[in-house]
Amino acid sequence: MMCITQHLDRKTKIMIALAQNTSITADTSMKILVIEDETKTVNYLRQGLTEQGYQVDTASNGLDGLHLATEGEYDAIILDIMLPGLDGISILKSIRPSVSTPVLMLTAKDALNSRLEGFRAGADDYLIKPFSFLELLARLQVITRRTRTKEESHIYIGDLHIDLLSRRAFRGKRRLDLTAKEFALLEVLAKRRGQIVSKTVITELVWDICFDTNTNVVEATVKRLRSKLETDDEPKLLHTIRGMGYILELRK
Ligand code: CA
């Protein structure tokens, strides 16, 4: 129904090839909001995206869409322009800039003006109906990757601030004097904040090898990192979970 791959330009074909190559697969935790009133398209998107491992919420009119887009936490929004109640452009204008979720617009073939207006209102990309599902997937992966990279250049946990670009870490105003390995360990834990990270995972990611985890190199590095990360009067952030690993989080 919606396959028009033969009409696509070279760049799009490359993007689709990348997506098909599954070097980029859906992050199973990704949540997508589809705001679209055509039942056929909604069902097609819901089925396709669910099969790819995405979680999908849908809204079939503008007001429900606006409500979900404002209240819900989504990794991306697929937004139709022509909607009953409130059109897609108005939704975009209402949610930007407070909601920075990437938005992929769906537009009609001859709707150049609404595409331009959509970009001005803060859309990240668009697709012309009818569209190929693989192209949609490829574009979705590009816009979500872009925001994820942006997000991950700084991590904040309590008063801990990690700047992943300049490779520096601070607690409040105090700069942590970390070695490369200590910083790498902190980064691995911080990117998985709130989750237990096992010694095996740490050795693979920090030392890039799989050595015998009985060795105490992980413990020794954790100990050094902890001594620099936590002074006596600061809340503890790096916790040991006996027999399982380590977790970085602020406990109240
Ligand atoms: Ca529509």
27 has a pLDDT exceeding 60: no
Reply yes or no on domain 154-248 having CATH 3.20.20.10.
Answer: no
**Per-residue exposure over 46-80, b if at least 16 CB sit within 10 Å of its own CB, e if not:** bebbeebebebbbbbebebbbebbeeeebbbbbbb
Report the alpha-carbon distance of residue 16 to residue 65 in Å, rounded.
28
| Cis amide bond preceding 97, omega within 30 | yes
The amino acid at 180:
A
CATH superfamily of 10-150: Response regulator (3.40.50.2300)
Ligand 1 centre from 124 Cα, in Å? 19
pLDDT of residue 1: 37
Tell me the per-residue pLDDT of 67-77, one tens digit each, with 9 for 90 and over. Answer: 999 988 899 99
Tell me the per-residue pLDDT of 87-98, one tens digit each, with 9 for 90 and over. Answer: 999 999 999 878
Residues 39-67 have a mean pLDDT of 93
Ligand 1 centre from 38 Cα, in Å? 6
12 has a pLDDT exceeding 70: no
pLDDT of residue 136: 94
3 has a pLDDT exceeding 50: no
Ligand 1 centre from 87 Cα, in Å? 9
Give the model's confidence band at 25: pLDDT under 50 very low, under 70 low, under 90 confident, else very high: very low
The amino acid at 31:
K
Ligand 1 centre from 77 Cα, in Å? 15
Ligand 1 centre from 83 Cα, in Å? 5
Ligand 1 centre from 237 Cα, in Å? 48
Which token pair is 66? 């606006």
Tell me the per-residue pLDDT of 161-176, one tens digit each, with 9 for 90 and over. Answer: 999 888 999 999 999 9
Ligand 1 centre from 102 Cα, in Å? 19
- Mean pLDDT (the chain) is 85
Give the model's confidence band at 213: pLDDT under 50 very low, under 70 low, under 90 confident, else very high: low
24 has a pLDDT exceeding 60: no
Ligand 1 centre from 39 Cα, in Å? 10
Query: What residue spans define the domains of the chain?
Result: 10-150, 154-248
Ligand 1 centre from 35 Cα, in Å? 9
Ligand 1 centre from 80 Cα, in Å? 6
pLDDT of residue 26: 47
How far lies 147's CA from each of 79, 97, 100, 132, in Å?
Answer: 17, 14, 9, 23
In the DSSP assignment, the letter for residue 81 is S
Ligand 1 centre from 7 Cα, in Å? 23
Ligand 1 centre from 41 Cα, in Å? 9
Q: How far is Cα of residue 136 from the mean position of the Cα atoms in its chain?
A: 17
Q: Which has the minimum average pLDDT: 38-52, 112-126, 145-159, 194-208?
A: 145-159
149 has a pLDDT exceeding 70: no
